Structure 1
């Protein structure tokens, strides 16, 4: 599992999650990662944001199918509003994680603080999180499964970096939300 870059911002460790429109993949990852961080006792030590490289959906809530998938799994998807990625984010955030190779190109490619979200995936490291927008409901469920296991691994990496003790709080998760 890769290590997270050392913190370079003041305050909490800051992570940005980026996809194309900020209505499906990155907000799903945002909601799940925040939940996993809270479960691990890291909510006050790690801050999460998400954005899209395109501005089509600015201010809009999450895609209703993504929100329904999250809600069915026990997560709260109601607070999300789409925002657009800004080129200053690699300096403003400790870690920027994108959902696919096109997003990676849009943010300027791999950099010391920029990589793929699934670099932390224990099943398929470095793979893309497929965009479910033009598909059926099963695509949103597939994305949620990828995001949950990757978020669990990312929490372990953050815990190692920040010196906190996660214990078994992430390893015993079986895929459910915050029920």
Structure 2
């Protein structure tokens, strides 16, 4: 009888998103998909948590036939926003300080948060340089280009800190800012 095989290594290799690497890591083998890797980098856990609030997004990340490039803002970029991702100045202008109170307010906040998340998901992967695509939110065209040796999301000149994961149905790009997600 042959001896048992050695124990397997981790199912998902850890690749830190420290910003030092803007090239794509090699594709992960097997059936690893976006939903398997979204929560593994602590620097984007706020955004990763937001993605889990919406069934169409989690379903997309779970579906190996729907490729996406996820533009995941660093926690620090989300925290630096002048308002929370679920707040819209027009809601306050129209409805006042209680715009997010009660069930109607909570629904408004959820719609705004979904728009924020969808503005950061490009339903294309691989995503060639300068290819203009629409994010899920339909917030205009988005593309990327190399500038001074760095990958930059346009419009907005948002620097890509790293390509944190390449999996069967897409990539997770850690970005140093947020896309304009206003309606």
Structure 2 length as normaliser, TM-score? 0.29
Which one has a larger percent helix, Structure 1 or Structure 2? 1
Structure 1 length as normaliser, TM-score? 0.30
